[in-house]
C-alpha cells in the first residue's frame, strides 16, 4: 500500500493513527474488524484508552466476520 516493509518503516509509522492518539481532541467513531490482520483490535483498544483518559466521547463498534 505505501511501500515495502521494513524499508519504508518511517512512512508506515507516520501514517499510523495509533502513534498520534495523544493528539486527539474531538469525538470519534471507531469501527474494528475483530478478524482484521492489518489493523489489529489492540490498536483500536489503545485509541479507546486514550479517548477515555482524555474524557473525549467515542463509540467503539467491534465487528466479527
Q: Which residue has the cell 486527539?
A: 24
Q: Cα angle at 35 between 30 and 36, to 5 degrees?
A: 60
Confidence of residue 60 (pLDDT cuts 50, 70, 90): very high
- Residue 50 contacts residue 24 (beta carbons within 8 Å): yes
Q: What is the pLDDT of residue 1?
A: 65
Q: Is 7 helix (H, G, I), strand (E, B) or coil?
A: coil
Q: What is the pLDDT of residue 18?
A: 84
Residues 10-20: pLDDT tens digits?
998 998 888 89
- Round to whole Å and give the CA distance between 3 and 37: 18
Cβ neighbors of 48 (< 8 A, separation 6 or more) are 30, 58, 60
Amino acid at each position: 500500500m505505501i511501500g515495502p516493509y521494513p524499508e519504508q518503516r518511517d512512512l508506515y509509522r507516520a501514517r499510523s493513527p495509533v502513534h498520534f492518539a495523544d493528539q486527539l481532541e474531538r469525538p470519534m467513531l471507531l469501527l474494528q474488524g475483530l478478524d482484521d490482520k492489518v489493523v489489529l483490535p489492540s490498536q483500536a483498544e489503545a485509541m479507546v484508552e486514550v479517548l477515555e483518559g482524555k474524557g473525549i466521547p467515542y463509540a467503539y463498534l467491534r465487528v466479527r466476520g
